[in-house]
A and B are shown apart, each in its own frame.
Chain A
């Protein structure tokens, strides 16, 4: 009931488990129980998007889910984007275009952009800007993030669709 419960999930392809109270937010479970500190806790009420992860393949705010709700789910966090030492095309584009300054919002930006490109592989600049309003960046003014997502979209299309 309100006492700790066992939670099992697949995170970045690996089965993981932990115990937590039902009131533990998924973001805190990832960071504190699983040690996956790549996902950042920003506003913790769903506005800033820094904590965005993929839950069963679609982007969601991990500060607006309880860990117990993700029992049995498949999650992807920023740690799961790279393929070994090979950065994901979105990460490469963010690097190439210098699409970050402090980097705090970047995990959320990457995951939100990945989900967006899965729904819209050939977006206009206006559509990219609309999608990126899902994550707040207070450093960059978004210009280079927009360029990076446009570039990544092109590279991902050339490589045969979103991966």
Chain B
């Protein structure tokens, strides 16, 4: 047997799952798509006393438009997002990000909520949540609360979710129809986690100006909005020199991690290169 022994529960409702979390008092893990948790269990890097499988919980799998917000159930499969006409129309940045996660067979199981709760620093969905300034809904013993993207990610693999809470929904502001976006990432092999990634959206605003949102993935311990680089582009537009200045600013703003795959300096360099490429692509797509 690869994984260590655990108690298995497959609750039918969020309430039942919350009761189980309380009963195991921090010793249980929630199982969503399992594409990150099960490998860690197979290696016995993680050996929870109990697994609470959310795959049979009703009502956590949906994509709905709610005014200017798109609400996505936490157990919605990445594959469902990839092929959702609503996501393609309202959140094309998310669709393009999801296509870069692993491979089609892993996206069949992997969920949007699982990816966010796992909080791998190099994962695409956390980067998109940060770029679009979305929020997540968590349910716990005291009821429901919303957590903004800026507050959700604490450190690698650690979120602001309490051990007795369940992430139930993701809320993202729909992108304007005339917005452009781009994702640029650098990975050594197809489907691998990126050593660095940049997501950008550009939306026309009043007075011929644009609203720009830039976020990193895989560079620092958590996805980061690059507000200082956004400001340069919002004030000065998308000339080659301005994009270069924004890319240089982006590289100054990040606090890269160094590991055996890439040094901190290399990740800083990649941040500038990928920012330049992403902003150039998005600004061209506007025209």
| Chain A residues at the B interface, C-beta cutoff of 8 Å | 1-2, 5, 21-25, 28, 44-46, 49, 52, 55, 58-61, 63-66, 68-69, 112, 115-116, 119, 130-131, 133-134
Which chain B residues lie closer than 8 Å to A45 at the CB level?
38-39, 42-43
Smallest Cβ-Cβ distance to A27: which chain B residue:
B2
B242 within 8 A of A: no
Which chain A residues lie closer than 8 Å to B8 at the CB level?
1-2, 5, 22-23, 66, 68
Least CB distance from A33 to B in Å reads: 13
A-B contacts at CB below 8 angstroms, number: 100
B34 touches A65 (CB 8 A): yes
Q: Take A45-B42, A46-B38, A69-B53 as given contacts and tell me if A55 and B104 are in contact as well, using a CB distance cutoff of 8 Å.
A: no
Least CB distance from B239 to A in Å reads: 32
A44 touches B2 (CB 8 A): yes
Smallest Cβ-Cβ distance to B189: which chain A residue:
A133
A61 touches B43 (CB 8 A): no
B105 touches A59 (CB 8 A): yes
Least CB distance from B92 to A in Å reads: 18
B109 touches A133 (CB 8 A): no
Which of A22, A64, A119, A133 is close to B38, meaning CB atoms less than 8 Å apart? A64
| Interface contacts beyond A46-B102, A59-B104: sample of 12 additional A-B pairs, CB < 8 Å, sorted by A | A22-B7, A28-B2, A44-B42, A52-B105, A58-B79, A60-B109, A64-B38, A64-B39, A66-B8, A119-B104, A133-B103, A133-B189
B206 within 8 A of A: no
Q: Take A60-B109, A69-B53 as given contacts and tell me if A21 and B1 are in contact as well, using a CB distance cutoff of 8 Å.
A: yes
Which chain B residues lie closer than 8 Å to A58 at the CB level?
79, 105, 108
Smallest Cβ-Cβ distance to A24: which chain B residue:
B1
The 8 closest A-B pairs by CB, nearest first: A134-B103, A22-B8, A45-B39, A59-B105, A133-B190, A1-B7, A58-B108, A64-B38
Task: Tell me if A's interface is mostly helix, strand, loop or mixed.
Answer: mixed
Name the residue among A2, A5, A21, A55 with the largest chain B CB count within 10 angstroms: A2
Which chain B residues lie closer than 8 Å to A65 at the CB level?
34, 38, 109
B227 within 8 A of A: no
B6 touches A23 (CB 8 A): yes
Which chain B residues lie closer than 8 Å to A5 at the CB level?
8
B5 within 8 A of A: yes
Which chain A residues lie closer than 8 Å to B4 at the CB level?
23
A73 vs B3: C-alpha distance in the bound complex, in angstroms?
22
Which chain A residues lie closer than 8 Å to B106 at the CB level?
46, 60-61, 64, 134
Which chain B residues lie closer than 8 Å to A119 at the CB level?
83, 104
Interface residues of B in 18-74 (CB under 8 A from A): 34-35, 38-39, 42-43, 50-51, 53, 55
